[in-house]
Structure 1
């Protein structure tokens, strides 16, 4: 029997999100939810979608892994010459989204992006597995290549060149999104979902409820 996509639906009834039980600061709320996602062993709780906009005004998204967060913002690492890197260079505003399906939760974050320091990028790069460090050299990310053989050949080339100590490529490093807006979404029954938005106003965070 074939199921129509239009008929696929789910009743969200796991939890609720109200103003009294939420944190006054969005970073604390994010920290709580991320830790709960990790403790719940949802698949890849650290995966987030990054949305950027190019000079042609066309948005694009991709999934990356969060590698750090604190009062300064959300950090991930990538190839600066990739499509997202080029778009960030031209328009530093971006949006992030976490979707923890099993917990019926979504977190959306918007703000301005900057590169992390060379020292931060060096430290994280040195902590990566050797194959991943070679891969950062081997992949001309987002460029058209003739086949997978290009990647294999490049990996062999740089593996032989750098052996066990590949340095961080100059085109690879970290980005930090500095949030100016957060939204926490908790699925609720009858599509009456909970949505709490935090936005900056006068140097402070204002928390407000949005209609679902």
Structure 2
């Protein structure tokens, strides 16, 4: 089962989420895309960018396309969701008396427990 941890060292905080990643249906994927900015339509995330002017021109072009067709959703756009089965919050302390709270899915709700550091 996939585990994702998010650690913020300056705040001594961590969140760990465990659960399956599922592909959502076309309707939810479309709703997710339409809730985003025009940058999502550009679709160049994580690629090298020559200049901010290049980005601005691409975003302006995408915004114009969305203005012409407000329901435009790229066919390849897919929403993936982590269906959390457990979530843990960790708060570090200088004296090493850390606080850990764990939540586990229990039927339709969640159970909470305090854990040893």
Is the structural similarity TM-score above 0.5?
yes
Note the residue ranges of structure 2 that are not aligned, 5 or more in a row. none
Aligned to 1:140: 44
What's the secondary structure of 2:44's corresponding residue? coil
1:121 and 2:26 matched: no
Residue 95 (1) aligns with residue 1 (2)? no
**3-state DSSP class of the match of 1:179?**
coil
Change (3 A) 1:147 1:196: same
* Alignment-derived partner of residue 178 in structure 1: 83
Flag the 1:162–1:193 CA change in 2: closer, same or farther, 3 A.
closer
Alignment check: 8 A CA contact 2:33 2:40 kept: no
CA distance in 2, matches of 1:160, 1:179: 37
- What TM-score do the two structures reach when normalised by structure 1? 0.40
- The normalised TM-score by structure 2 is 0.63
Question: What is the aligned partner in structure 1 of residue 63 from structure 2?
Answer: 159
Tell me the SS of whatever aligns to 2:55. Answer: helix
1:44-95: CA deviation from partner (whole Å, max 9, x where unpaired): xxxxxxxxxxxxxxxxxxxxxxxxxxxxxxxxxxxxxxxxxxxxxxxx8340
Q: 2:99 aligns with which of 194, 197, 203?
A: 194
Give, in whole Å, the separation in 2 of the partners of 1:137 and 1:115.
20
Number of residues of Structure 1 aligned to a counterpart in Structure 2: 111
Asked if 2 retains the 8 angstrom alpha-carbon contact of 1:196 and 1:207, the reply is yes
Please report the RMSD computed on the Cα atoms of aligned residues, expressed in angstroms: 3.5
Asked whether the 8 Å contact 1:198–1:205 carries over to 2, the reply is yes
Question: Offset at 1:98?
Answer: 7.3
**For structure 1, which runs of at least 5 residues remain unmatched after alignment?**
1-91
Instruction: Please tell me whether residue 209 in structure 1 is matched to residue 108 in structure 2.
Output: no
Q: In structure 1, how many angstroms separate the alpha carbons of the residues matched to 2:55 and 2:92?
A: 42
